[in-house]
Amino acid sequence: MTATAASAAPAIGQPEIRATRLLFLIVGFGVAAWAPLVPFVKARAGLDEGGLGLLLLCLGIGSLAAMPFAGALAQRFGARTVLACAVATLSAALTVLSLADALPVLAGALVLLGAGFGTVDCLMNIQAVTVERRAGRPMMSGFHGLYSLGCIVGAAGFSGLLGAGMTPTSATLVVVAGIAAAFLAALPGILPGEGSRGPAFAVPRGTVLVIGVLCFVVFLTEGSILDWSGVFLVQERALAPASAGLGYAAFSLTMTVGRLTGDALVHRIGRGRIVGIGGLFAAAGLVLVVAVPAWPATLIGYALVGAGCANIVPVLFTAAARQSVMPERIAIPAVTTLGYAGVLAGPAAIGFLAHATSLTTAFLVVALALVGVAVSGRRLAA
Protein backbone atom coordinates (compact mmCIF):
# COMPACT_ATOMS: atom_id res chain seq x y z
CA MET A 1 0.00 0.00 0.00
CA THR A 2 1.33 3.44 -0.88
CA ALA A 3 1.75 6.21 1.65
CA THR A 4 -1.12 8.14 0.03
CA ALA A 5 -3.43 5.13 0.25
CA ALA A 6 -2.41 4.50 3.84
CA SER A 7 -3.17 8.08 4.82
CA ALA A 8 -6.55 7.86 3.07
CA ALA A 9 -7.51 4.64 4.88
CA PRO A 10 -9.97 4.93 7.77
CA ALA A 11 -8.40 5.33 11.19
CA ILE A 12 -8.21 2.28 13.42
CA GLY A 13 -10.12 2.44 16.68
CA GLN A 14 -10.86 0.16 19.59
CA PRO A 15 -13.64 -1.80 17.77
CA GLU A 16 -11.18 -3.00 15.11
CA ILE A 17 -8.47 -3.81 17.66
CA ARG A 18 -10.95 -5.61 19.91
CA ALA A 19 -12.35 -7.58 16.97
CA THR A 20 -8.86 -8.74 15.96
CA ARG A 21 -8.07 -9.89 19.49
CA LEU A 22 -11.37 -11.76 19.70
CA LEU A 23 -10.74 -13.56 16.40
CA PHE A 24 -7.40 -14.84 17.70
CA LEU A 25 -9.08 -15.89 20.95
CA ILE A 26 -11.78 -17.76 19.02
CA VAL A 27 -9.23 -19.92 17.21
CA GLY A 28 -7.40 -20.56 20.49
CA PHE A 29 -10.60 -21.60 22.24
CA GLY A 30 -11.57 -23.83 19.32
CA VAL A 31 -8.22 -25.63 19.27
CA ALA A 32 -8.40 -26.01 23.05
CA ALA A 33 -11.85 -27.58 22.76
CA TRP A 34 -10.75 -30.09 20.13
CA ALA A 35 -7.64 -31.38 21.93
CA PRO A 36 -9.52 -32.86 24.95
CA LEU A 37 -12.09 -34.45 22.62
CA VAL A 38 -9.46 -36.60 20.87
CA PRO A 39 -9.37 -39.39 23.50
CA PHE A 40 -13.18 -39.55 23.50
CA VAL A 41 -13.27 -39.78 19.70
CA LYS A 42 -10.64 -42.53 19.78
CA ALA A 43 -12.59 -44.57 22.33
CA ARG A 44 -16.00 -44.00 20.73
CA ALA A 45 -14.80 -45.04 17.28
CA GLY A 46 -12.70 -47.95 18.61
CA LEU A 47 -9.52 -46.71 16.93
CA ASP A 48 -5.96 -47.74 17.61
CA GLU A 49 -3.10 -45.24 17.40
CA GLY A 50 -2.55 -45.83 13.69
CA GLY A 51 -6.22 -45.39 12.86
CA LEU A 52 -6.40 -42.23 14.94
CA GLY A 53 -3.35 -40.83 13.18
CA LEU A 54 -4.97 -41.37 9.79
CA LEU A 55 -8.21 -39.79 11.00
CA LEU A 56 -6.36 -36.73 12.29
CA LEU A 57 -4.94 -36.14 8.82
CA CYS A 58 -8.43 -35.02 7.83
CA LEU A 59 -8.00 -31.93 10.02
CA GLY A 60 -4.88 -30.91 8.13
CA ILE A 61 -6.46 -31.70 4.77
CA GLY A 62 -9.36 -29.38 5.53
CA SER A 63 -7.08 -26.56 6.66
CA LEU A 64 -4.66 -26.81 3.74
CA ALA A 65 -7.55 -26.95 1.27
CA ALA A 66 -9.23 -23.82 2.65
CA MET A 67 -6.29 -21.55 3.51
CA PRO A 68 -5.08 -20.59 0.02
CA PHE A 69 -8.53 -19.32 -0.99
CA ALA A 70 -9.57 -17.51 2.20
CA GLY A 71 -8.39 -14.07 1.08
CA ALA A 72 -10.04 -14.29 -2.32
CA LEU A 73 -13.34 -15.44 -0.81
CA ALA A 74 -13.28 -12.52 1.62
CA GLN A 75 -12.56 -10.13 -1.23
CA ARG A 76 -15.51 -11.47 -3.21
CA PHE A 77 -18.14 -12.04 -0.53
CA GLY A 78 -16.87 -9.83 2.31
CA ALA A 79 -14.77 -10.77 5.31
CA ARG A 80 -17.71 -10.67 7.72
CA THR A 81 -19.72 -13.16 5.63
CA VAL A 82 -16.83 -15.56 5.12
CA LEU A 83 -15.80 -15.40 8.78
CA ALA A 84 -19.38 -15.98 9.92
CA CYS A 85 -19.60 -19.08 7.70
CA ALA A 86 -16.20 -20.32 8.95
CA VAL A 87 -17.08 -19.82 12.63
CA ALA A 88 -20.44 -21.54 12.13
CA THR A 89 -18.69 -24.42 10.33
CA LEU A 90 -16.07 -25.02 13.02
CA SER A 91 -18.70 -24.73 15.77
CA ALA A 92 -20.98 -27.28 14.06
CA ALA A 93 -18.00 -29.57 13.43
CA LEU A 94 -16.94 -29.48 17.08
CA THR A 95 -20.49 -30.38 18.13
CA VAL A 96 -20.60 -33.33 15.72
CA LEU A 97 -17.19 -34.53 16.90
CA SER A 98 -18.43 -34.54 20.49
CA LEU A 99 -21.27 -36.91 19.50
CA ALA A 100 -20.38 -39.05 16.49
CA ASP A 101 -18.80 -42.51 16.44
CA ALA A 102 -19.03 -43.42 12.73
CA LEU A 103 -15.73 -42.98 10.91
CA PRO A 104 -17.16 -41.31 7.76
CA VAL A 105 -18.97 -38.75 9.92
CA LEU A 106 -15.90 -38.11 12.05
CA ALA A 107 -13.69 -37.73 8.96
CA GLY A 108 -16.11 -35.29 7.34
CA ALA A 109 -16.44 -33.28 10.54
CA LEU A 110 -12.66 -33.05 10.89
CA VAL A 111 -12.29 -31.82 7.31
CA LEU A 112 -14.89 -29.12 8.03
CA LEU A 113 -13.22 -28.26 11.35
CA GLY A 114 -9.89 -27.84 9.59
CA ALA A 115 -11.48 -25.71 6.87
CA GLY A 116 -13.10 -23.50 9.51
CA PHE A 117 -9.89 -23.08 11.48
CA GLY A 118 -7.85 -22.47 8.32
CA THR A 119 -10.21 -19.80 6.99
CA VAL A 120 -10.43 -17.90 10.29
CA ASP A 121 -6.66 -18.20 10.75
CA CYS A 122 -5.91 -16.59 7.40
CA LEU A 123 -8.50 -13.83 7.67
CA MET A 124 -7.62 -12.91 11.25
CA ASN A 125 -3.98 -12.47 10.17
CA ILE A 126 -5.03 -10.34 7.19
CA GLN A 127 -7.08 -8.18 9.56
CA ALA A 128 -4.19 -8.08 12.04
CA VAL A 129 -1.63 -6.79 9.54
CA THR A 130 -4.12 -4.16 8.33
CA VAL A 131 -4.86 -2.99 11.87
CA GLU A 132 -1.14 -2.91 12.70
CA ARG A 133 -0.33 -0.95 9.56
CA ARG A 134 -3.04 1.66 10.08
CA ALA A 135 -2.26 1.99 13.78
CA GLY A 136 1.38 2.67 12.94
CA ARG A 137 2.82 0.61 15.77
CA PRO A 138 3.78 -3.06 16.41
CA MET A 139 0.71 -5.08 17.40
CA MET A 140 1.09 -8.49 15.75
CA SER A 141 2.83 -10.24 18.66
CA GLY A 142 0.06 -9.21 21.04
CA PHE A 143 -2.58 -10.57 18.68
CA HIS A 144 -0.80 -13.91 18.43
CA GLY A 145 -0.40 -13.87 22.20
CA LEU A 146 -4.19 -13.81 22.50
CA TYR A 147 -4.30 -17.04 20.48
CA SER A 148 -1.80 -18.68 22.84
CA LEU A 149 -3.70 -17.39 25.85
CA GLY A 150 -6.94 -18.71 24.36
CA CYS A 151 -5.39 -22.16 24.01
CA ILE A 152 -4.24 -22.23 27.63
CA VAL A 153 -7.42 -20.79 29.16
CA GLY A 154 -9.64 -22.83 26.87
CA ALA A 155 -7.89 -26.10 27.66
CA ALA A 156 -8.03 -25.41 31.38
CA GLY A 157 -11.68 -24.38 31.16
CA PHE A 158 -12.71 -27.41 29.11
CA SER A 159 -10.90 -29.75 31.48
CA GLY A 160 -12.57 -27.97 34.39
CA LEU A 161 -16.00 -28.52 32.85
CA LEU A 162 -15.28 -32.21 32.37
CA GLY A 163 -13.95 -32.44 35.91
CA ALA A 164 -17.16 -30.86 37.19
CA GLY A 165 -19.10 -33.75 35.71
CA MET A 166 -20.26 -32.35 32.37
CA THR A 167 -20.35 -34.66 29.38
CA PRO A 168 -18.00 -33.95 26.44
CA THR A 169 -20.98 -32.79 24.38
CA SER A 170 -22.22 -30.41 27.09
CA ALA A 171 -18.73 -28.98 27.59
CA THR A 172 -18.37 -28.54 23.83
CA LEU A 173 -21.68 -26.69 23.63
CA VAL A 174 -20.48 -24.30 26.35
CA VAL A 175 -17.35 -23.58 24.29
CA VAL A 176 -19.40 -23.17 21.11
CA ALA A 177 -21.67 -20.69 22.89
CA GLY A 178 -18.59 -18.77 24.03
CA ILE A 179 -17.22 -18.74 20.47
CA ALA A 180 -20.55 -17.44 19.14
CA ALA A 181 -20.67 -14.70 21.76
CA ALA A 182 -17.08 -13.67 21.02
CA PHE A 183 -17.75 -13.54 17.28
CA LEU A 184 -20.88 -11.42 17.71
CA ALA A 185 -18.83 -9.03 19.86
CA ALA A 186 -16.13 -8.93 17.17
CA LEU A 187 -18.49 -8.47 14.22
CA PRO A 188 -18.76 -4.64 14.25
CA GLY A 189 -14.96 -4.27 14.12
CA ILE A 190 -14.23 -6.76 11.35
CA LEU A 191 -12.74 -4.94 8.37
CA PRO A 192 -14.33 -5.50 4.96
CA GLY A 193 -11.01 -6.36 3.29
CA GLU A 194 -8.50 -4.53 1.14
CA GLY A 195 -6.79 -4.97 -2.16
CA SER A 196 -7.77 -5.30 -5.79
CA ARG A 197 -9.37 -8.32 -7.39
CA GLY A 198 -7.09 -10.89 -8.89
CA PRO A 199 -6.42 -14.63 -8.91
CA ALA A 200 -7.90 -16.66 -6.06
CA PHE A 201 -4.61 -18.48 -5.54
CA ALA A 202 -1.04 -18.05 -6.70
CA VAL A 203 2.07 -20.11 -6.01
CA PRO A 204 4.23 -18.18 -3.51
CA ARG A 205 7.33 -16.68 -5.06
CA GLY A 206 10.24 -14.43 -4.21
CA THR A 207 10.11 -12.84 -0.78
CA VAL A 208 6.78 -14.51 0.02
CA LEU A 209 8.25 -17.95 -0.62
CA VAL A 210 11.23 -17.19 1.64
CA ILE A 211 8.93 -15.93 4.42
CA GLY A 212 6.78 -19.04 4.01
CA VAL A 213 9.79 -21.34 4.32
CA LEU A 214 10.94 -19.53 7.47
CA CYS A 215 7.43 -19.91 8.94
CA PHE A 216 7.54 -23.58 7.94
CA VAL A 217 10.68 -24.07 10.05
CA VAL A 218 9.25 -22.26 13.09
CA PHE A 219 5.93 -24.10 12.90
CA LEU A 220 7.84 -27.37 12.40
CA THR A 221 9.68 -26.58 15.62
CA GLU A 222 6.41 -25.94 17.46
CA GLY A 223 4.88 -29.17 16.15
CA SER A 224 7.98 -31.11 17.14
CA ILE A 225 7.86 -29.77 20.70
CA LEU A 226 4.14 -30.57 20.93
CA ASP A 227 4.48 -34.19 19.82
CA TRP A 228 8.02 -35.15 20.86
CA SER A 229 8.94 -33.22 24.01
CA GLY A 230 7.07 -35.70 26.22
CA VAL A 231 8.62 -38.68 24.46
CA PHE A 232 12.08 -37.18 24.92
CA LEU A 233 11.54 -36.53 28.64
CA VAL A 234 10.32 -40.09 29.26
CA GLN A 235 12.72 -41.89 26.92
CA GLU A 236 15.90 -39.87 27.37
CA ARG A 237 15.47 -38.21 30.79
CA ALA A 238 13.62 -41.06 32.56
CA LEU A 239 10.72 -38.91 33.75
CA ALA A 240 7.48 -40.61 34.70
CA PRO A 241 4.82 -40.52 31.96
CA ALA A 242 2.61 -38.41 34.25
CA SER A 243 5.23 -35.64 34.03
CA ALA A 244 5.70 -35.85 30.27
CA GLY A 245 3.65 -32.71 29.67
CA LEU A 246 6.04 -30.47 31.60
CA GLY A 247 8.18 -29.81 28.54
CA TYR A 248 5.32 -28.51 26.42
CA ALA A 249 3.98 -26.56 29.40
CA ALA A 250 7.33 -24.77 29.78
CA PHE A 251 7.40 -24.05 26.05
CA SER A 252 3.80 -22.75 25.99
CA LEU A 253 4.26 -20.53 29.04
CA THR A 254 7.27 -18.65 27.71
CA MET A 255 5.76 -18.39 24.24
CA THR A 256 2.56 -16.87 25.62
CA VAL A 257 4.39 -14.41 27.86
CA GLY A 258 6.79 -13.58 25.04
CA ARG A 259 3.96 -12.78 22.65
CA LEU A 260 1.94 -10.75 25.12
CA THR A 261 5.00 -8.58 25.79
CA GLY A 262 6.43 -8.83 22.28
CA ASP A 263 5.04 -5.64 20.74
CA ALA A 264 7.03 -3.46 23.12
CA LEU A 265 10.12 -5.55 22.43
CA VAL A 266 9.66 -5.24 18.66
CA HIS A 267 9.31 -1.46 19.05
CA ARG A 268 12.47 -1.30 21.15
CA ILE A 269 14.91 -3.49 19.21
CA GLY A 270 13.32 -3.85 15.76
CA ARG A 271 11.81 -6.67 13.74
CA GLY A 272 15.07 -7.90 12.25
CA ARG A 273 16.73 -8.37 15.62
CA ILE A 274 13.63 -10.12 16.96
CA VAL A 275 13.96 -12.78 14.26
CA GLY A 276 17.75 -13.02 14.55
CA ILE A 277 17.93 -13.21 18.34
CA GLY A 278 14.78 -15.31 18.59
CA GLY A 279 16.07 -17.91 16.16
CA LEU A 280 19.37 -18.18 18.02
CA PHE A 281 17.58 -18.43 21.39
CA ALA A 282 15.36 -21.23 20.10
CA ALA A 283 18.32 -23.08 18.58
CA ALA A 284 20.27 -22.73 21.84
CA GLY A 285 17.28 -24.07 23.74
CA LEU A 286 17.19 -27.25 21.64
CA VAL A 287 20.95 -27.69 22.06
CA LEU A 288 20.48 -27.39 25.83
CA VAL A 289 17.68 -29.95 25.69
CA VAL A 290 19.91 -32.60 24.14
CA ALA A 291 23.30 -31.62 25.59
CA VAL A 292 22.63 -31.56 29.35
CA PRO A 293 21.38 -34.91 30.71
CA ALA A 294 19.35 -33.48 33.58
CA TRP A 295 15.60 -33.02 33.20
CA PRO A 296 15.50 -29.53 34.81
CA ALA A 297 17.93 -28.35 32.13
CA THR A 298 15.69 -29.96 29.52
CA LEU A 299 12.72 -27.94 30.78
CA ILE A 300 14.81 -24.76 30.71
CA GLY A 301 15.75 -25.62 27.12
CA TYR A 302 12.11 -26.00 26.10
CA ALA A 303 11.34 -22.68 27.79
CA LEU A 304 14.10 -21.03 25.74
CA VAL A 305 12.64 -22.50 22.56
CA GLY A 306 9.25 -21.00 23.43
CA ALA A 307 10.74 -17.60 24.23
CA GLY A 308 12.81 -17.62 21.05
CA CYS A 309 9.99 -18.69 18.72
CA ALA A 310 7.36 -16.46 20.34
CA ASN A 311 7.66 -13.38 18.14
CA ILE A 312 9.26 -14.74 14.96
CA VAL A 313 6.02 -15.71 13.20
CA PRO A 314 4.19 -12.46 14.08
CA VAL A 315 7.11 -10.47 12.68
CA LEU A 316 7.18 -12.62 9.54
CA PHE A 317 3.47 -12.04 8.96
CA THR A 318 4.15 -8.31 9.14
CA ALA A 319 6.96 -8.77 6.62
CA ALA A 320 4.57 -10.66 4.32
CA ALA A 321 2.18 -7.70 4.45
CA ARG A 322 4.97 -5.20 3.70
CA GLN A 323 6.41 -6.95 0.64
CA SER A 324 5.34 -5.93 -2.88
CA VAL A 325 5.87 -9.15 -4.82
CA MET A 326 2.34 -10.51 -4.25
CA PRO A 327 -0.96 -8.96 -3.11
CA GLU A 328 -1.46 -9.11 0.63
CA ARG A 329 -4.70 -11.11 0.40
CA ILE A 330 -2.80 -13.86 -1.45
CA ALA A 331 0.54 -13.56 0.37
CA ILE A 332 -0.86 -13.98 3.89
CA PRO A 333 -2.81 -17.20 3.08
CA ALA A 334 0.24 -18.54 1.21
CA VAL A 335 2.52 -17.94 4.20
CA THR A 336 -0.10 -19.38 6.58
CA THR A 337 -0.46 -22.50 4.43
CA LEU A 338 3.29 -23.10 4.28
CA GLY A 339 3.56 -22.57 8.03
CA TYR A 340 0.72 -24.97 8.80
CA ALA A 341 2.35 -27.54 6.52
CA GLY A 342 5.29 -27.37 8.93
CA VAL A 343 3.01 -28.24 11.85
CA LEU A 344 1.77 -31.28 9.95
CA ALA A 345 5.10 -32.39 8.51
CA GLY A 346 7.25 -31.64 11.54
CA PRO A 347 6.25 -34.47 13.88
CA ALA A 348 6.40 -37.03 11.06
CA ALA A 349 9.77 -35.75 9.84
CA ILE A 350 11.18 -35.87 13.37
CA GLY A 351 9.85 -39.41 13.74
CA PHE A 352 11.49 -40.63 10.52
CA LEU A 353 14.78 -38.92 11.34
CA ALA A 354 14.74 -40.22 14.92
CA HIS A 355 14.10 -43.75 13.62
CA ALA A 356 17.04 -43.48 11.21
CA THR A 357 19.40 -41.83 13.71
CA SER A 358 18.17 -40.73 17.16
CA LEU A 359 15.79 -38.22 18.71
CA THR A 360 18.81 -36.20 19.83
CA THR A 361 20.06 -35.92 16.25
CA ALA A 362 16.60 -34.96 15.04
CA PHE A 363 16.39 -32.08 17.53
CA LEU A 364 19.87 -30.90 16.51
CA VAL A 365 18.78 -30.79 12.86
CA VAL A 366 15.85 -28.58 13.88
CA ALA A 367 18.26 -26.37 15.85
CA LEU A 368 20.40 -25.98 12.73
CA ALA A 369 17.32 -24.97 10.72
CA LEU A 370 16.50 -22.35 13.36
CA VAL A 371 19.98 -20.87 12.94
CA GLY A 372 19.12 -20.56 9.27
CA VAL A 373 15.95 -18.71 10.23
CA ALA A 374 17.99 -16.33 12.40
CA VAL A 375 20.44 -15.57 9.59
CA SER A 376 17.89 -15.27 6.77
CA GLY A 377 15.03 -13.70 8.66
CA ARG A 378 17.04 -10.93 10.32
CA ARG A 379 17.75 -9.29 6.98
CA LEU A 380 14.29 -10.05 5.58
CA ALA A 381 12.28 -8.59 8.47
CA ALA A 382 14.46 -5.55 9.07
Per-residue pLDDT of the chain (382 residues; tens, 9 = 90+): 444 444 445 567 889 999 999 999 999 888 888 878 888 888 889 888 678 878 888 888 898 899 988 988 998 899 999 999 999 999 999 999 999 999 999 999 999 999 999 999 999 999 999 999 899 889 999 999 999 888 888 878 888 888 888 999 999 999 999 999 999 999 999 998 654 455 556 678 889 999 999 999 999 998 888 778 888 888 889 888 767 778 888 898 999 999 999 999 999 999 999 999 999 999 999 999 999 999 999 999 999 999 999 999 999 999 998 888 888 888 899 899 898 888 877 777 888 888 888 889 999 999 999 999 999 876 765 5
Buried b (16+ CB within 10 A) or exposed e, 37-74: beebbbebbebeeeeeeebbebbbbbbbebbbbbbbbb
| Under 8 Å between Cβ of 99 and 169 | yes
What's the confidence (pLDDT) of residue 6? 42
What's the confidence (pLDDT) of residue 197? 54
The domains located in the chain, with CATH, are 13-189 (1.20.1250.20), 206-380 (1.20.1250.20)
Single out the residue of 333, 271, 276, 288 nearest to residue 127, CA to CA. Answer: 333
| Structural Rg of the chain based on CA atoms | 20
| Under 8 Å between Cβ of 224 and 56 | no
User: d(Cα 120, Cα 70) in Å, to the nearest integer?
Assistant: 8
User: d(Cα 272, Cα 95) in Å, to the nearest integer?
Assistant: 42
